């Protein structure tokens, strides 16, 4: 009888450890961070409207994003479903809230539309709406996201399709 009780207690203890480690896995992303996002997008010309840029339909070009920095907060929404909310408040710009799913190895941002600004020429920028997804990993006190931007850029000069995005967001955890 004693061994049966000990076995039940050990089983309950093991279950408790397992459950607490699961909630710890997604809790590791939780916190307040300072972030910077930078990178570039490769675009394909779909339609030419004006001769602002010397391009033809089918041409590809790579344009840099205007860097963004600000405050990021990551909160747990549902530990059981491993869902989180990631808010990004860009200094002097927009605030965006992403739904996210987390595992012990990464956090995935679910698709969300938001505005970004691209550097077209030295003194010309273009603000456009894109769909953003991404995957992040935590390294010590840093979250590193590889972001994927998709969609179509409608500019004064024409219409451009996003072929590839090389965008990273580096977020450093703020000290409490």
pLDDT tens digits for range 113-145: 999 999 887 788 889 999 999 999 999 999 999
**Mean pLDDT throughout 16-30?**
59
CA distance 130 to 2: 63
Contact by Cβ (8 Å): 147, 138: no
CATH class of 2-173: mainly beta
| CB-based contacts of 92, cutoff 8 Å, min separation 6 | none
Q: Contacts for 92-101 with beta carbons within 8 Å, 24 or more apart?
A: 93/68, 96/132, 98/132, 100/74
Which pair of structure tokens corresponds to residue 78? 């549902």
Report pLDDT for 176: 66
pLDDT tens string 38-94: 999 999 999 998 877 788 999 999 999 999 999 999 999 998 889 999 999 999 989
pTM for this one?
0.81
- Alpha-carbon distance values, 81 to 16, 43, 111, 112 (Å): 18, 36, 18, 20
| CB-based contacts of 78, cutoff 8 Å, min separation 6 | none
CA distance 60 to 53: 12
**Mean pLDDT throughout 107-113?**
97
Whose structure tokens read 């024409």?
158
Which pair of structure tokens corresponds to residue 136? 């992040």
The domain limits of the chain are 2-173
CA distance 24 to 29: 9
Report pLDDT for 1: 53
Beta strands in 29-82 (DSSP E): 31-48, 60-64, 68-78
């Amino acid at each position: 009888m004693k061994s049966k009780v000990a076995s039940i207690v050990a089983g309950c203890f093991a279950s408790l450890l397992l459950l607490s480690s699961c909630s710890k896995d997604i809790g590791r992303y939780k916190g307040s961070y300072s972030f910077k996002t930078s990178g570039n997008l490769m675009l394909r010309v779909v339609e030419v409207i004006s001769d602002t840029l010397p391009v033809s339909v089918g041409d590809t070009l790579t344009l840099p994003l205007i860097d963004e920095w600000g405050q990021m907060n990551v909160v747990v929404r549902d530990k059981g479903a491993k869902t989180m909310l990631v808010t990004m408040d860009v200094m002097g710009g927009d605030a965006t809230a992403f739904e996210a799913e987390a595992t012990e190895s990464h956090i995935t941002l679910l698709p969300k539309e938001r505005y970004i600004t691209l550097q077209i020429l030295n003194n010309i920028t273009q603000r456009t709406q894109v769909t953003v997804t991404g995957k992040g990993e935590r390294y010590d006190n840093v979250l590193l996201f590889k972001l994927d931007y998709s969609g179509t850029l409608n500019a004064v000069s024409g219409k451009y399709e996003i072929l590839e995005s090389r965008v990273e967001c580096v977020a450093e955890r703020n000290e409490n």
